Amino acid sequence: MERSYRLVISCPDEVGIVAAVSAFIAQHGGWITEAHHYTDPGSQWFFMRYVVRAQSLPFPPAEFRTRFEPIAMRFGMQWYITDSGMNRRVVLMASKQAHCLSDLLYRWRSGELQFDIPCVLSNHDDLRRYVEWHGIPYFHLPVDSTDKEAHFVAVSDAIASARADTIVLARYMQILPAELCQRYPASIINIHHSFLPSFIGARPYHQASERGVKLIGATCHYVTSELDAGPIIEQDVVRVNHHNTAEEMVRLGRDVEKMVLARGLRYHLEDRVLVHDNKTIVFA
């Protein structure tokens, strides 16, 4: 894939933003290959994502930042520019179940998703051999149920040491402490095994079976300090019927979970997700 820069902007909406940004890019010869705008009608907040061919601009992102700053100031923008050639550093966290982790590792090793994996963290040792086959460090950080804090200190340290910018909870079954969630806003991605806001918390497939729903689902969301209540990135469902026991829902749900997580992570890695008021704008 050709190298490109991704310019992501949000600011109060007003006339002239697109004109100012596109004029800036055009005057430097920038070739836009993808463009998305959106204004939230409630808050009148404006969101924008441009992809520009790296080779078409006469300067690197660092200089772009300096030169673009006056426009950003004028409109009160929150903004950043990323380089598709620079991989995100993504720490994967798992427990005993392999389906989401295996799926992400396949997409990573086949090059379908572009990111670095400094390490995998788990509260169990079960997945070590598979992860290490990929040449990825695996840290087993057990949970002492009488003192969970030690676990979370170890997790926090491992994330910091890995210089992670993204953490993926690939069916990691512990609830992260609020403090950790707040330290990585819009950076911790969880896959919840229900169609949120239905069936928050534990054993959602059993809750779904109990209620007799005809579709089950999965939700990929950013983690906040409130359980299963963070901004939703992606969701999907699969049909079930009375034949499907809770155990079979678990099996059917695995396929939805891994697809939804993979799509959500892709959006995140490509800077397609903007968060606003606990909701996401996804420029897919």
Among 131, 141, 155, 281, binds its own copies (CB under 8 A): 281
Shortest gap between Cβ of 44 and its own copies (angstroms)? 11
Q: Quick check: 227 binds its own copies (CB under 8 A)?
A: no
* Closest alpha carbon to 95 in 168, 7, 163: 168
Q: Quick check: 225 binds its own copies (CB under 8 A)?
A: no
Burial of 216 (0-12, 13-18, 19+ CB in 10 A): buried
Alpha-carbon dihedral 232, 238, 241, 244, rounded to 10 degrees: -90
Measured from the CB atom, is 168 or 273 closer to its own copies?
Answer: 273
Q: Quick check: 39 binds its own copies (CB under 8 A)?
A: yes
Q: Quick check: 259 binds its own copies (CB under 8 A)?
A: yes
Q: Which residues contact 97 (CB under 8 A, 6 or more apart)?
A: 171, 254
Catalytic residue status for 228: yes
Catalytic residue of the set 165, 228, 255, 271: 228
Burial of 15 (0-12, 13-18, 19+ CB in 10 A): exposed
Measured from the CB atom, is 31 or 152 closer to its own copies?
Answer: 31
* Residues 119, 221: Cα–Cα separation, whole Å: 21
Q: Quick check: 106 binds its own copies (CB under 8 A)?
A: yes
Alpha-carbon dihedral 102, 106, 108, 109, rounded to 10 degrees: 120
Burial of 1 (0-12, 13-18, 19+ CB in 10 A): exposed
Among 3, 74, 163, 279, binds its own copies (CB under 8 A): 279
Positions in the binding site for its own copies (CB under 8 A) = 15-16, 18-20, 22-23, 25-27, 29-35, 37-41, 56, 98-99, 102-103, 106, 110, 112, 133, 195-199, 211-215, 217, 231-237, 241-243, 245, 251, 254-255, 259, 262, 278-282, 284
Active-site annotation, residues: 228
